[in-house]
Structure 1
């Protein structure tokens, strides 16, 4: 989404890698234990945002990188009873909100304090869901967590599910139908699964826009961005 927003639509985008596995950071070849990263965002409540933001080197997109030190920083933040535990990411974003059209925070599937910080800073939450017979598993618990976060986040406007890994398998079709018939908001766009696209992206170190611009998955992501931006302006 971030690359499509910046490259196709000319938007200024900040992409935050809020995942200790640092897939986003590694994709942009910014992985390091010497440079400032999300570790400092969680550890330093008065961090100057520009100290941790780095150019991605592609399409005018900026990132806040990550590494495994995020794990220890999150553990330490849990025990920090004196500071604002839920406002570390929001503190950084408040400093640069006039500099970017969009900020995307990429999180891992867990609900650690680093993810709670992201939820407390977000205006919109997108929940990727693999559509199958278990599509609704865990959604009620996640929805409860989001509702508990709302008092910390007055800017939160929408929570929407995104169906990913879509195929024409009967379980997938039924899973998507169940999700769309549930109480949860779901994007009209779904992302079709492609083993070839996934392999090419990781092997080449390039985005879908570069490796497979006409693939179904690339078209789906473009449609997703249009659908999202249509709601956000």
Structure 2
């Protein structure tokens, strides 16, 4: 069986987390005694992943300093450096394909979330171009992102849920991205800079995105307060 690969999206600037992110990229901030990205690496290794690509931009050198080559988790980590300006989710994924390869689907996880999603339970082969994990809408994002229609994810619909930042993707999702993105700012750069959401919505319109509703724990670590709350929960200590 081929080696399962994963991408951890870790190139963001972490502006809402400042001053914590002035010297430490957000995925390297600690919660429960380990970096946020460390939780992902441990779970990916437990799920049978052996090769992980981490995309980097802001304070990129801190990642190999702290994570090394991944051997402590039984992984091989390679770094996809995007330059001083992050390439957004779509551009970052497109840029990382040279390391991920195009032949096999891969797991992709936002580096600044925490969850108890079991990565081993994700489909190895999504039925379409992508399989997304959705969660209940948190207080800071009450409108949600997408709707589940049976096993399919729709861009519109009632009872919208929030995209967890966890999914399984085929490289085919990025085929023809220029036609979908159009003349967006950054799309004509080299490497290009663009968001993934328009490509997902286009694939949803073709019935090519499946999904699941995760009802367990999930945190978008977007502010210092949410990081403190997560840290207290993981350590089992009260938080005001």
Q: Give the TM-score of the pair, scaled to structure 2.
A: 0.32
More strand by share: 2
- Greater RCO, 1 or 2 (C-alpha within 8 Å, sep 6+): 2
Q: Give the TM-score of the pair, scaled to structure 1.
A: 0.33
More helix by share: 1
